Amino acid sequence: MKSMLFLLLTFVFCSFQSCSDEVQIQDTEIELPTLEPDTIRFAVYNVSMFGSSEGLIASQLENADQYIRFKRIASVIQKVSPDVLVLMEFDYDSTGNALRNFNDQLLAVSQNGDSALIYPYTYQIDSNTGELSSVDIDGNGSITLPNDAYGFGQFKGQYASAILSTYPLDTLNSRSFRKFLWKDMPNAA
């Protein structure tokens, strides 16, 4: 139970602190629960890997091993070792290079002596963050980012998400709700 609390606190701490260079994550042995043979472990992790400008994170991930915060995020993920991982606040990159580099340069390489992780299946789709709507949502008299976007963001795809999996993903049948409006929800006011 204590080890699970440590994991939770580590996730929360890294999410709020963006795992900056000042954050000290101790090399602590984490005892995860014993799993049944057919168990699939899922994890959702807010990695706060969003840039101040479009393409910044993708550019930094070209040399991912030079960024201590990226290595620390990868180390936490390796400790948990999920079969299916959802990364939150991972900037969208239409080329797929950012996610590929994070996967290949960080997760597939041992961090702090933890076992490397192989995720042969990855998926990231365009999000509605930073996508300008046609409505003055904040009521300031002009339609501008970030407050008048479908989803808050300084640029298209900021704060997106991504999926990495050890199991095949049915991407052909996936759906995006990025243009779905709240007013279209059943019983919307």
Residues 95-140 pLDDT 10s: 999 999 999 999 999 999 999 999 999 999 888 999 999 999 999 9
Does residue 155 surpass a pLDDT of 90? Answer: yes
The domain spans of the chain are: 2-15+41-172
Place of tokens 């040399």: 63
Contact 151, 132 (CB under 8 A): no
Q: Which residue has the higher pLDDT, 188 or 109?
A: 109
> DSSP secondary structure string, 90-131?
E---TTSHHHHHIIIIIITS-STTPPP----EEE----SBT-
Write down the pLDDT at residue 23: 39
Q: Are strands 121-123 and 42-49 parallel, antiparallel or unpaired?
A: unpaired
Write down the pLDDT at residue 16: 38
Q: Are strands 42-49 and 84-90 parallel, antiparallel or unpaired?
A: parallel
What mean pLDDT comes out for the span 9-18? 42
Residue 76, CB-side half-sphere exposure with 13 Å CA sphere:
29
CA torsion 105→111→115→120, rounded to 10°? -20
Write down the pLDDT at residue 28: 58
Q: Check residue 89 and report its DSSP letter.
A: E
If pLDDT is split at 50, 70 and 90, which confidence band does 184 have?
confident
Write down the pLDDT at residue 2: 43
Does residue 15 surpass a pLDDT of 50? Answer: no
Total-model pTM: 0.77
Place of tokens 């992780």: 117
Write down the pLDDT at residue 27: 56
Residues 20-79 pLDDT 10s: 433 344 555 667 677 778 889 999 999 999 999 999 999 999 999 899 999 999 999 999
Q: In this structure, which amino acid lies at residue 27?
A: D
